[in-house]
Chain A
Amino acid sequence: MQTIKDVFKNNVRQYAMFIALIVISIFFQILTDGILLLPQNVTNLVLQNSYVLILAIGMTLCILSGGNIDLSVGSVSAFIGAIAGTLIINMKMDVGLTIFICLLIGIAIGIWQGFWIAYLRIPAFIVTLAGMLMFRGLTIAMLKGLTLSPFPEKFQLISSGFIPDVFGGFGTKLNITALVVGAIISIIYVILQFKKRAEQKKYNFEVVTMPLFIAQIILILAGINLFAYWLAAYKGLPIIFVLIGILVLVYSFFTTKTVPGRYIYAMGGNEKAAKLSGINTNKVLFFTYVNMAFLAAVAGIVFAARLNAASPQAGINFELDAIAACFIGGASAYGGVGTVSGAIIGALVMGVLNNGMSIMGVGSDMQMIIKGFVLLMAVAFDVLSKNRARA
């Protein structure tokens, strides 16, 4: 039976960043006199960072496939925003249809870039640097340098809407739907955990002791439901939360549990070995860039909806935020190491820093210095702890 010490020892690095996130949150909670974790601010924090969270997921896959990054995502997001603005505001096209077209264009951009990267093996850095310039230029050309605004309310809902409270609140101020969703997720989590434990027992594997298992479940359930309560106390469940939640779950599952997910890790770990194991590495690389551009399109739509405008200056430096989030979250610059959940934690660390410092009134110059330093320290910690593990 595994004890708490074993569990912790086997997962130090995974937990390290999570603990750091909690420590930073508590730190700012104190410094901001409790504003940081107010229900309204928590909702805002995720809304503000929604585009980084979405881009970080795709960027994780690119980095995993061999330390490749995608510099074009900011420009692609802006370009997609410009298309959405042109179609909806200028041409009065239906919102649903526009979103569909935007996602298709995102995929097409991915196919264009993926072709050069995966099949002609032009370094991703160069292809996406070219993309960064080209799509920024296309954005400005399409908008003629002007900002298009406003979007109809239906489009804005993507980033500022909430799931309506079907239960009506029962006279309280709480949003019951958010609580119910929290409860449903809790039940599913418990069922999955017990199923997993039974499977492991079937194979006679070591499992954690029963009290520890229960403690673990209670801790997670407390976390989920506390968060649900927090949301319920404000306006309920934001639509963007649902979108990001689904993306995180799907991509986490994809990278850790599926065969193609494995292929990405294998390719980043050793491409020659992956090839000799029957993996079509060109196809894997192609897919990661198509997927990246697809997610950049999603982020572009979300950002345009939040800004309530299609701006030629949208998305500048998005790519750098996404890349920083991945590396803070423990991805290796050489590929083959990293997780989607890590990148999400990395993005939240950056988000809390931004938000906390903004509340405190720290200037953006100071913010940049601190964020840069945190990125350096996070990666240095990772590298040093790996060196120690090897010695």
Chain B
Amino acid sequence: MLAVRLVNIMSHRFLLSGDHIIVNTMILGVDRAVEYILEMRNITKLFPGVKALDNVNLKVRKGEIHALVGENGAGKSTLMNVLSGVYPYGTYSGSIFFEGKECIFKGIKDSEKTGIVIIHQELALVPSLSIGENIFLGNERAKRWLINWNQTHMQAAELMKRVGLRENPATLVKDIGVGKQQLVEIAKALAKNVKLLILDEPTAALNEEDSENLLNLLLELKKEGITCILISHKLNEVLKVADSITILRDGRVVETLDKHKDDVSEDRIIKGMVGRELTNRFPERTRKIGEVIFEVRNWNVYHPLIEGRKVIKDVNIKVRKGEIVGIYGLMGSGRTEFAMSVFGKSYGKHISGQIIKNGRELVLNSVRQAIENGLAYVTEDRKSAGLILIDDIKRNISLASLDNISKNLVVDENREIYVAEEYRRKLNIKCSSVLQKTGNLSGGNQQKVLLSKWIFAKPDILILDEPTRGIDVGAKYEIYKIINNLAEEGKAVILISSELPEILGMCDRVYVMNEGMIVGELDREEASQESIMKCIMQSIKEVV
């Protein structure tokens, strides 16, 4: 088990550099006669006031992995919804040919019958049903309406073996991790005799190890002859597995690259996606690092439900004014749990340790106390724990600091709009007005609203948990600029991330976290992919 993990971590190093070493080993069946399984011709899709797709042409060869990349709002999901029948025939113009035949889909059922299955970012599984039941959901192994349970379990076990899922088919889906749930989705697709599998951001919620497994599974399925369309923001993954890459921007195809012919690099893809050269993915900043302002000492936290399980073990960190300190760790390393337990004990039980700010010890028993003492925590899960999606931008921004805009508990609504407008300008939030619902914003703009909310709370210490997760390259750059500005203003920033380039590009100092412990502390000069990975591997060895 550990060995597998080590190999995964090692191979990850090559992936990140985006070079061709690993890529070249992937070339399979280069000069097969060109046979297109799917052709989408001149697809145009209009929404009221917006041309979501403008004359898009997409050709996918049989048996290849075809990546679809583009910024949020470029039209990737719309295109796939057209293909899978979510938008039925007649609501768009243009034509779709699958295996040479024109497709007229009235709904998802039609496209699934043809062999096209889409797996959405938000998984469509029923948590309280078993793996087996989920695999055959809507496609039950049954005689008329009587379910054949033996057949269900037997065939489920077969499919699970094919996707490498080692679990009992009777296990409930809610009891397995996201990575395994993703495998259940793929098994579900296989049960429908899938010919073309569409995956929308399959690795967005997965950790490195699970992502690796999933990508390898895609390569396996490719060998079995299953064609795949992969939508992803993670360009290193795209470069690893894709044979062709189609870049979309503003509803149009910029270009389709063939990895075996064209010179493909991350830079070229990014340039296509954003329409300009991004010379530096991390903006420059002038460093003015001051005194230690915030310290956490001997921090220990137990799991809130499982008695006796220690989640955080003797963690010590400190942050200086104007400093950006990174906490790097794989998913499950305890980074989020640590941050939340510090932030007014919003996670965990039997919390012990000291929090010291400006040399004075603080006792933070509630989130309110934490905010009042100048702490802010920007959650990694902006949709379910960060924003109120049915509320507008201004109400989201003011929520954590209503005291600042109210007198005798009465909210000054004019002041609220004024403040929201100020942040809209400063952080460049793209919206029709501050009265727009945050649920209708793109991921990058949602993140900016969430940042505005916490900047408006006027903290001295900001804990940012995966601030750029699931947002596109252009918006990432803007978020980085905001973070840099905060540091330049003298705030102390703790940046939690599982993206190594982000940690290396942004941070002045890095703590490496694994299994609830700090396993290394590296300065900007010392920090590199190799040195960080070495910390993690050493800690694993010590445990062994």
The interface of chain A, by Cβ under 8 A from chain B, is: 10, 199-200, 202-203, 205, 257-260, 262, 265-266, 269-270, 272-280, 332, 336-337, 390-391
Q: Which of B225-233, B305-313, B363-371, B484-492 contacts A (4 or more CB under 8 A)?
A: B363-371
CA distance A266 to B392 in the complex (A): 11
Instruction: Establish whether residues B395 and A262, one from each chain, have CB atoms under 8 Å apart when the complex forms.
Output: yes
Q: List 9 A-B contacts (CB under 8 A).
A: A205-B414, A257-B411, A262-B411, A265-B391, A276-B367, A277-B453, A278-B344, A279-B399, A390-B440
Tell me if A274 and B379 are in contact (CB < 8 A). Answer: no
Interfacial chain B residues near A200, Cβ < 8 Å: 414
Interface string of B389-415 (1 = CB under 8 A from A): 111000100011011001001110111
Query: In the complex, how many residue pairs between chain A and chain B have their CB atoms under 8 Å apart?
Result: 88
The distance in angstroms between the C-alpha atoms of A309 and B417, with both chains bound, is 51
A273 touches B346 (CB 8 A): no
Please list the residues of chain B having a beta carbon within 8 angstroms of any beta carbon in chain A: 47-48, 343-344, 346, 366-368, 370-371, 377, 379, 384-391, 395, 399-400, 402-403, 406, 409-411, 413-415, 417-418, 435, 440, 453
A272-B410 in contact (CB<8A): no
Q: What separation, in Å, do the CA atoms of A259 and B401 have in the docked complex?
A: 10
A266 touches B399 (CB 8 A): yes
Known contacts A262-B395, A274-B399, A391-B47; is-contact A269 B389 (Cβ 8 Å):
yes
Query: Taking the nearest CB of chain B, how far is it from the CB of A282, in angstroms?
Result: 11
Is B385 within 8 A of A272, CB to CB?
Answer: yes
**Residue on B nearest A253 in the bound complex, by CB:** B410
Task: With A259-B403, A277-B453, A278-B366 given, name 15 new contacts (CB 8 A).
Answer: A203-B414, A258-B411, A259-B409, A259-B410, A262-B411, A265-B391, A266-B388, A266-B399, A270-B390, A276-B343, A276-B367, A276-B377, A278-B368, A279-B399, A336-B388
Q: Which of A260, A269, A390 contacts B388 (CB under 8 A)?
A: A269
Taking a contact as CB atoms closer than 8 A, the residue among A10, A270, A275 that contacts B346 in the complex is A275
Q: Specify which of B379, B390, B417 is in contact with A203 (CB 8 Å cutoff).
A: B417
Q: Write out the residue numbers on chain A whose beta carbons fall within 8 Å of the beta carbon of B388.
A: 266, 269-270, 273-274, 336
Q: A278 vs B411: C-alpha distance in the bound complex, in angstroms?
A: 17
**B435: chain A residues within 8 A (beta carbon):** 10
Contact A336 B390 (CB under 8 A): yes
Closest to B344 in A: A278
**A99 CA to B453 CA, complexed, in Å:** 45
> Which B residues are CB-close (under 8 A) to A277?
367, 371, 399-400, 453
The answer to whether A203 and B418 touch across the interface, beta carbons within 8 angstroms, is: yes
Taking a contact as CB atoms closer than 8 A, the residue among B379, B410, B417 that contacts A276 in the complex is B379
- Distance in angstroms from B275 CB to nearest chain A CB is 28
CB neighbours of A276 from chain B (8 A): 343, 346, 367, 377, 379, 385-386
Q: How many whole Å from A38's CB to the nearest CB in chain B?
A: 40
* A278 proximity list for chain B (CB < 8 A): 344, 366-368, 370-371, 400
Q: Which 4 A-B pairs have the closest CB atoms?
A: A269-B388, A278-B368, A277-B400, A272-B385
**A8 → chain B, closest Cβ, in Å?**
15
Residues of B within 8 A of A203 (CB): 414-415, 417-418
A10 to B371 CA separation, bound complex (whole angstroms): 34
Would you call A259 and B402 a contact (CB within 8 A)? yes
Q: Which A residues are in CB contact (< 8 Å) with B386?
A: 273, 276
Which residues of the other chain, B, contact A202 by a CB distance below 8 angstroms?
Answer: 414
> CA A257 – CA B411 in complex, angstroms?
5
A residues within 8 A CB of B48?
A: 391
Q: For residue B385, which residues in chain A have a CB less than 8 angstroms away from its CB? A: 270, 272-273, 276
The complex places the Cα of A319 from the Cα of B379 at a distance, in Å, of 39
Q: Which of B379, B387, B391 is within 8 Å of A336, CB to CB?
A: B391
B463 to chain A, nearest CB (A): 11
Q: Which residues of B contact A265 (CB under 8 A)?
A: 391, 395
Q: Which residues of B contact A273 (CB under 8 A)?
A: 384-388, 399
* Chain B min CB distance to A253 (Å): 8
Q: Which residue of B lies closest to A335 (CB)?
A: B390
**In whole angstroms, how far apart are the Cα atoms of A300 and B460 in the complex?**
52
Residues on A with C-beta less than 8 A from B391 are 265-266, 269, 336
Q: B415 — nearest CB in chain A belongs to which residue?
A: A203
Task: Closest A residue to B402 by CB, please name it.
Answer: A259
Cβ–Cβ contact B389 & A257, under 8 A? no
Inter-chain contact A270/B389, CB cutoff 8 Å: yes
Cα distance A165–B411 in the bound complex, in angstroms: 38
| Shortest Cβ distance from residue A262 to the other chain B in the assembled complex, whole angstroms | 6
Partner of A199, one of B399, B410, B414: B414
**How many angstroms from the CA of A280 to the CA of B369 in the assembled complex?**
11
In whole Å, how far is A331's beta carbon from the nearest beta carbon of chain B? 12
Contact B410 A275 (CB under 8 A): no
CB-CB nearest in chain B for A258: B409
Please indicate which of the listed interface residues B48, B371, B402 has the most CB atoms of chain A within 10 Å of its own CB: B402
Centre residue among B47, B370, B400 by max chain A CB count within 10 A: B400
A266 to B344, CA, bound (A): 19
In the assembled complex, which residues on chain B have CB atoms less than 8 Å from the CB atom of A279? Answer: 367-368, 399
Contact of B387 among A199, A260, A270, A275 (CB under 8 A): A270
Min distance, Cβ B512 to any Cβ of chain A, angstroms: 26
Residues on the A chain within 8 Å of B417, using CB: 203, 205
Query: When chains A and B are docked, how far (Å) is the Cα of A101 from the Cα of B505?
Result: 67
B410 and A258 within 8 A (CB): yes
Alpha-carbon gap, A205 to B400, bound state (A): 24
Report the bound CA distance from A139 to B366 in whole Å. Answer: 41
Q: Is the beta-carbon distance between B413 and A257 smaller than 8 angstroms?
A: yes
Note all chain A residues with C-beta closer than 8 A to B367: 275-279
Please indicate the chain B residues that have their CB under 8 angstroms from the CB of A336 in the complex: 388, 390-391
Query: For the complex, what is the distance from the CA of A125 to the CA of B98, rounded to whole Å?
Result: 51
Interface pair A262/B390, CB less than 8 Å apart: no
Residues of B within 8 A of A10 (CB): 435
Complex CA–CA separation, A277 to B418 (angstroms)? 21
**8 Å CB contact of A270 from B384, B403, B406, B440:** B384
Q: How far is the CA of A322 from the CA of B334 in the complex (A)?
A: 47
Shortest CB distance A204–B (Å): 9
| Minimum distance in angstroms from A5 CB to a CB of chain B | 16
For B367, B399, B409, B453, the residue with the greatest tally of chain A CB atoms inside 10 Å of its CB is B399
Cα–Cα distance between A277 and B386 once the two chains are bound (Å): 8
Q: How far is the CA of A260 from the CA of B370 in the complex (A)?
A: 19
**In whole angstroms, what is the CA distance A55 to B54 when docked?**
54
> Which among A200, A270, A277, A279 has the greatest number of chain B C-beta atoms within 10 A?
A277
Contact of B406 among A199, A259, A390 (CB under 8 A): A259
A60→B387 CA distance, assembly (Å): 23
- Separation of A270 and B48 alpha carbons in the complex (Å): 29
Min CB gap B461→A, angstroms: 15
Say how far B437's CB is from chain A's closest CB, in angstroms. Answer: 9
Report the minimum CB–CB distance from B208 to chain A (whole Å).
26
Q: Considering the complex, give the chain A residue whose CB is closest to the CB of B396.
A: A273
CB-CB < 8 A to B379: which residues of A? 276
Q: Which residues in A have their C-beta under 8 angstroms from that of B390?
A: 269-270, 332, 336-337
Cα-based distance from A241 to B413 in the complex (angstroms): 30
How near does chain A come to B75, taking the closest CB pair, in angstroms? Answer: 16
Q: Tell me how far the C-beta of A265 lies from the nearest C-beta in chain B, rounded to whole angstroms.
A: 7
| Contact A262–B399 (Cβ < 8 Å) | yes
Nearest chain B CB to A64 CB, angstrom units: 12
Roughly how many angstroms separate A280 CA and B346 CA in the complex, as a whole number? 11
* Closest chain B CB from A358 CB (angstroms): 38
Give chain B residues whose Cβ lies under 8 Å from the Cβ of A275: 346, 367
Cβ of B353 to closest chain A Cβ, rounded Å: 21
Question: Bound complex: CA of A258 vs CA of B412, how far in Å?
Answer: 9
Chain A residues within an 8 Å CB radius of B403: 259
Which A residues touch B414, using CB under 8 A? 199-200, 202-203, 205
CA distance A173 to B418 in the complex (A): 52
CA distance A266 to B400 in the complex (A): 10
- Inside 8 A of A390's CB, which chain B residues have their CB? 440
Cβ distance A199 to chain B, nearest Cβ, rounded Å:
5
Contact A257 B370 (CB under 8 A): no
Most chain B CB within 10 A, of A10, A205, A260, A270, is at: A270
Q: Decide: A262 near B402, CB < 8 A? Known: A257-B411, A280-B368.
A: yes
Complex: how many Å from CA A10 to CA B410? 24
